[in-house]
Amino acid sequence: MAVPDFADTAAFPTFAGLPEIVTTPSPPQEHTTSDSSNNQDEDWFLLGQIKDNMTITQPTLVLFDRAGSPFALMFDGLGPGGVDFRARGLRKGSTAVVPRARRTPPKDESKRGFVAVAPEDAGSVRAVPGPLPRVIELGKWLRERRAAGAVGCDGCWREDGEMKKCTACGELQYCGKECQAKAWNDSHKIDCKIIKAIDAIWKHDD
């Protein structure tokens, strides 16, 4: 799967833009969750920068979506220690990626609702170790870069000679150690981890 288009708010909706879980009981002959409006091949991902761990009775995070709106992410059917947030990289300041997230509407109109993750989907929630705006920027950049095909050194832009790829992310490439060290100290030491995580979630097939 190629890196999806981070500029596309259908692929990366806000919390308010998520499809809602239908909570009204359906007639007996129908399935309780309506999938008719959704193409099974179509995927979307809710992105949220983690603000706080608010676990009391079940694992719960408070996040900000790409519009800056806060929402709660709850892991259903699990005890307070049911998700090892630390081991999963789901820590304050990092960005959580929730595939096919649905919004549970509030019972009370003054509230905002939340996103509940079923126990069998808990493992599908992934983390990118960086703030959400940077994750979106690098996601866009990575998609364009792969479409264009990278040529030349990412430090000095020379195109002749053999290039060596960054061994951590496997994405940036350099003509030599000098360019690599400079890029690393400039910004790549932070971006490298983000690129690596994006790549692991949306593996490209080549």
Nearest 5°: CA angle at 63, between 57 and 67? 150
- Which of 168/190 has CB closer to Zn ion? 168
Kindly state the smallest distance separating residue 155's Cβ from Zn ion, in Å. Answer: 4
- Catalogue the E-assigned strands of the chain: 45-53, 60-64, 70-75, 95-99, 103-104, 114-117, 126-128, 164-165, 173-174
Give the residue from 148, 156, 147 showing the smallest Cα distance to 180.
156
Q: Reduced to 3 states, what is the DSSP secondary structure of residue 97? A: strand
Kindly state the smallest distance separating residue 192's Cβ from Zn ion, in Å. Answer: 3
Kindly state the smallest distance separating residue 174's Cβ from Zn ion, in Å. Answer: 5
- Which of 116/142 has CB closer to Zn ion? 142
- Which of 114/202 has CB closer to Zn ion? 202
- Which of 102/188 has CB closer to Zn ion? 188
Q: Reduced to 3 states, what is the DSSP secondary structure of residue 73? A: strand
Give the residue from 68, 117, 77 showing the smallest Cα distance to 97.
117
Kindly state the smallest distance separating residue 35's Cβ from Zn ion, in Å. Answer: 39
Kindly state the smallest distance separating residue 58's Cβ from Zn ion, in Å. Answer: 36
Binding site for Zn ion (CB under 5 A): 153, 155-156, 166, 168-169, 175, 179, 192
Which helix (DSSP H) or strand (DSSP E) does residue 190 occupy? helix 189-201
Kindly state the smallest distance separating residue 177's Cβ from Zn ion, in Å. Answer: 10
- Which of 100/193 has CB closer to Zn ion? 193
Give the residue from 71, 73, 136, 131 showing the smallest Cα distance to 99.
73
Q: Are 73 and 98 in contact (CB under 8 A)?
A: yes
- Which of 46/179 has CB closer to Zn ion? 179
